[in-house]
């Protein structure tokens, strides 16, 4: 097991990464004998993994209630949070109780948000079960839910007590969900690390086939890259903005299709291609680098073309509401080299529409 610590101004906690790590003695920090917790998960994960997790809690004589959410991004809503809060109240959970998020990014975001507002804040633990949540969503304390007019528009910054990442969970992950997670991996490489990018070019198929050493290295590398940024900019005032490559376009796709037909990673993959196109249009990236970036996305079996039934102008109404925008001006993160990004302020709408059109088949 590899243990990495994320330290912010207010909180320090471990990110545990490994295989079969629930056997490790100290992996369930900060649980104590006699604690009460609520395991928050969905129907699919409950059937596959609940008993394995509950067994460890019972060994430590920790009381466990289970709350099951419906599965899917379209259930990442205030109503789901309301149902969880009602459950906590009915079960008489207090400020000493702890929430445990067992699932992907949707479960983690809802659980963290509920923990941050229940009785003005209680503890929670992340146990991410998808590649996307293991490399990205479970790290850094962003919580929240979607609104029909925009993704993650309602939320808080609330750090977990620990993150427990076991790659065994990936053995039951559908292939489509696996490649959705690869999208965030590629984002880190394009954004921050040329050497990691080159490694991915050579090893992407090993990750897709869940080769143990490659997956462990990949998750650890992404976590280290994110921790380095979050530790200096917890609330996304400066450098943490750079973690959003492809997300402004991608969130527009997700919102347009009402969080139902495009997975987050798929939308971000196309969003990265659109950001690359913006950079090409403005002459800020050389053709070879742009081609390598797009080829890596394509070789990971991710989509590289815009949804055909979403017109280019449709992106704008979502992008002006993006959390990185200000006073109606669209702000974009774009790559200018492999491992290097820049922030564009007040991007003209014709540039955005041109980039989207360039991504049509």
CA distance 246 to 332: 9
Task: Show the tokens assigned to 177.
Answer: 């969900």
116 Cβ partners below 8 Å, 6+ apart?
143, 156, 158
Between CA 109 and CA 106 the distance in angstroms is 5
In a 13 Å sphere around the CA of 167, the CA atoms on its Cβ side amount to 22
Yes or no: say if 221 and 171 are a contact pair by the CB < 8 Å rule. Answer: no
What are the two backbone dihedrals, phi and then psi, of residue 279, each rounded to the nearest 5 degrees?
-65, -40
Q: CA 58, CA 32: separation in Å to the nearest integer?
A: 11
**CB distance 127 to 101 below 8 Å:** yes
The structure tokens 């146990």 sit at: 127
Whole-number Å distance between alpha carbons of 214 and 224: 15
Exposed / middle / buried, residue 206 (Cβ in 10 Å: 0-12, 13-18, 19+)? middle
Biggest distance spanned by C-alpha atoms of the chain:
61
Residue whose C-alpha is closest to residue 98's, from 110, 81, 111: 111
CA-to-CA separations, 317 to 249, 251, 307, 351, in angstroms, rounded? 11, 11, 16, 15
Catalytic residues: 120, 142, 184, 226, 236, 240, 244, 247, 251, 264
- The answer to whether 279 touches 335, Cβ cutoff 8 Å, is yes
Measured distance CA(269)–CA(150) in Å, rounded: 18
**Start-end of H helices in 123-241:** 131-132, 175-192, 194-208, 212-230
Closest CA to 191 of 295, 99, 123, 272: 272
């Amino acid at each position: 097991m590899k243990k990495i610590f994320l330290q912010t101004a207010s909180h320090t906690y471990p990110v545990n990464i490994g295989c079969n790590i629930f056997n490790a003695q100290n992996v369930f920090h900060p649980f104590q004998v006699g604690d009460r917790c609520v395991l928050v998960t969905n129907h699919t994960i409950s059937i596959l993994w609940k008993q394995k997790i509950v067994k460890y809690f019972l060994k430590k004589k920790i009381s466990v209630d289970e709350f099951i959410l419906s599965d899917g991004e379209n259930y990442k809503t205030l109503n789901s949070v309301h149902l969880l809060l009602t459950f906590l109240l009915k079960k008489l959970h207090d400020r000493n109780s702890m929430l445990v998020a067992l699932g992907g990014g949707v479960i983690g975001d809802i659980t963290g948000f509920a923990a941050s507002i229940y009785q003005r804040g209680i503890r929670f633990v992340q146990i991410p079960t998808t590649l996307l949540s293991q490399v990205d969503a479970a790290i850094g304390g962003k919580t929240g839910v979607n609104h029909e007019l925009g993704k993650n528009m309602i939320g808080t910054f609330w750090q977990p007590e620990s993150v427990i990442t076991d790659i065994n969970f990936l053995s039951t992950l559908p292939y489509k969900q696996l490649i959705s997670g690869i999208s965030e991996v590629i984002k880190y490489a394009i954004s921050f690390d040329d050497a990691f990018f080159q490694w991915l070019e050579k090893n992407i198929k090993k990750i897709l086939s869940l080769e143990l050493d490659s997956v462990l290295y990949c998750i650890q590398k992404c976590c280290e890259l994110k921790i380095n940024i979050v530790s200096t900019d917890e609330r996304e005032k400066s450098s943490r903005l750079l973690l959003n490559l492809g997300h402004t376009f991608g969130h527009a796709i997700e919102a347009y299709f009402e969080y139902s037909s495009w997975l987050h990673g798929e939308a971000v993959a196309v969003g990265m291609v659109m950001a690359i196109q913006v950079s090409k249009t403005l002459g800020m990236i050389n053709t070879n680098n742009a081609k390598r970036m797009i080829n890596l996305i394509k070789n990971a079996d991710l989509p590289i073309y815009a949804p055909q039934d979403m017109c280019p102008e449709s992106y704008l109404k979502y992008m002006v509401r993006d959390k990185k925008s200000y006073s109606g001006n669209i702000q974009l993160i774009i790559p200018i080299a492999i491992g290097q990004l820049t922030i564009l302020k007040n991007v003209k709408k014709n540039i955005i529409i041109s980039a989207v059109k360039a991504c049509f088949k």
